[in-house]
Chain A
Amino acid sequence: MLEKYAEVAGRDVVEHLRQLAGPLKGLRLVHVNSTRTGGGVAEILHKMVPLMQELGLDIRWEVITGEPAYYECTKSFHNAMQGNEVNIPERYLKVYEQTNSQTAGGLEEELQNADVVLIHDPQPAALIDSFPRHKGKWVWRCHIDASRPFRPVWKYLRNFVSKYDASIFSLSNFAQQLPHPVYLIAPSIDPFHEKNRDIDEDDLRETCARFEIDPERPVILQVSRYDRFKDPIGVIRAYRVAKELTPNIQLILAGGGATDDPEGEAVLDEVRTSAKDDPNIKVLLLPSDAHRTINALQRVSDIVMQKSIKEGFGLTVTEALWKKKPVIGGDTGGIRIQVINHHTGFLVRSPEGAALRIRYLLHNRDLMKEMGEKGKEFVRENFLVTRHVREYLTLIYALLNSKKERIELS
């Protein structure tokens, strides 16, 4: 596996991983998140876990699950971390704490004896309360755009998070004041994931036929969960404005649901209502394992959009750039460090802005091609899973060895 990564990311990149992993051989690291399918976190873990295992670390991946009230509560946490004012009933908080406490009981030996525990997002954050005398280092990884969290909810969550030995945010803009080192680590994509690997032309043709997409006409695509923060309605508005001057465009909205997202269905209904019966808008609800379909849709598109109003990072942006597509993205969160105006795409703040850029790009095909080439190299150098693993290993090494500024490997 490492050999394959060396071919795509570079030999030196893989050599760095080997050097970092050398002193960590046999180290037991447990990841805990809230779903094995759907959403960016699960996707990253599916590829990162085997890669770290191949580097010689003893990696486990555990999932916290609960009753519907638990998911209602954690969805509210998610919305609150992204700045929405939410009122979470006390009984939901009790369910949240009980679910964490019960999960802790089942994972007691695993978590108590781990060298490092990596807790993803708020859902399992309270696990730490069940391990006041834990042996290893506990790290909280926040994948959410937490730039302006709703303070009462953050104050509640901070009670748990502040007990960790370190935390990780995707961008400096998201980082919160905490009494431990706050690392800034961007997420990543895996070039060999079914969603990103090369696809032959026959498969692309088959995908177009299956969804009645005309490959001779421009295709605009947004891939994301049906979530208001992803602004699918805004994408439809942008399409309608752009269509006035570029009537032959087609729009595809493709998304699935995550098992921990109870709001998806309502948003999907809103999107279908907004699309009405326009035959050039395809609203696709795909299963969480439709990676190959997503891959093909991204490849047959001319422009990929990610018009989010809030975005932790936007792995769909990274995926599109990797496939040499210019991206029109909302000027928010992690999209800002991936979509660089006039280099890899355009940042926009309104449906009108998005429409303007759609028209601009469709009338400048050479520029689209140039942006596509740049985007792929940009991802290769900065947003592949190898860089992500290197930064996790660096953090672990620094924490375990109390390193301050310099970590010298030899």
Chain B
Amino acid sequence: MERTCVMPNKSKTDPFLLKDCALIAIAAGKKAQNLRELREHIRNIDLNSLYYHFWGGLLRPRFDNPEYHNDFAIWVAHALHNRLVAERLAVIDPMAYETLEDLRTELIETIEECLDEIQFPTWAGRDDQFEFVRYQIVIFDTNITVTHPEDLVRVFPRMPVGSIFYHFIEGRRRNRNSLDDFRNWLMTFGDEYAELGQSIGEICPYFTPLRELRKELIEVCRSHF
């Protein structure tokens, strides 16, 4: 593929190298058949697995589930048939926690609260157990380089959803300041694009499918320039 250099370099900052990514799933070797087992496994599971069950669904073959946004909530709704608990799990926003350990703690506390209230816990069928999965991420070069923020307006529409995942979602886990790659790059221009960065920061990545996220990013960029 040809390397696309968009617009002459108007600044001295490094260009933005657009990447793409895919996840490959690996069984974590743990299964849960009821809420109590789920809690115990969450207590000990690798954080990579926790991350996968909150965010990995965005890149998996499925139709959007508008009700529940993480695998735990979906499982509780469909396998344990407990919509009350599913709602409580679904409302946990992983972005509200500084670290995945904090998220783990919140998840365990929520499940424990639910367990306190449930008189007769239900069990999932033998084929409907929750299977913990971890992942490896493979990162590809797209051969697209963005040299100036204005060019994001043209680059976003043809950005693969894997790129949105990698830069806008996975970047927050990778970067020390927990910001996505776009905002980190805009910060290298000083205050010039602070407003754009703020608008991008207001887009919530958790409750929106990747294609919709891309539309929101396009919209924010178009409004700015």
Contact = CB atoms under 8 A, between A and B. Distances in A.
Interface in B122-139: 126-127, 129, 131, 133, 135-139
A107 interface: no
- Interface majority SS (helix, strand, loop, mixed), chain B: strand
Given A15-B140, A19-B141, A184-B133, A337 B24 contact: no
B84 interface: no
Contacts of A343: 63
Contacts of A407: 136-139
Contacts of A172: 25, 27, 131, 133
Q: Which secondary structure dominates where chain A touches chain B?
A: mixed
B29 interface: yes
A382 B60 CA distance: 8
A147 interface: yes
Interface size class of B (residues with CB under 8 A): 20 to 34
Interface in A328-382: 332, 337, 340, 343, 378, 381-382
A185 B27 contact: no
A119 B29 CA distance: 22
A394 B136 contact: yes
A382 B140 contact: no
A216 interface: no
A391 B25 CA distance: 9
A148 B126 contact: yes
Interface size of A as a range = 35 or more
Interface stretch (A59-67, A173-181, A200-208): A173-181
* Highest count of chain A CB atoms <10 Å: which of B127, B131, B138: B138
A27 B126 CA distance: 41
B169 to A, nearest CB: 15
Contact of A332 (B127, B131, B135): B127
Interface of B: 1, 20, 22, 24-27, 29, 48, 61-63, 126-127, 129, 131, 133, 135-143, 160, 162
24 contacts: A12-B142, A15-B142, A16-B22, A19-B140, A173-B127, A173-B129, A175-B27, A175-B131, A182-B26, A183-B26, A184-B26, A184-B133, A332-B127, A340-B62, A390-B22, A394-B22, A394-B136, A394-B138, A398-B24, A405-B136, A405-B137, A407-B137, A409-B138, A409-B141
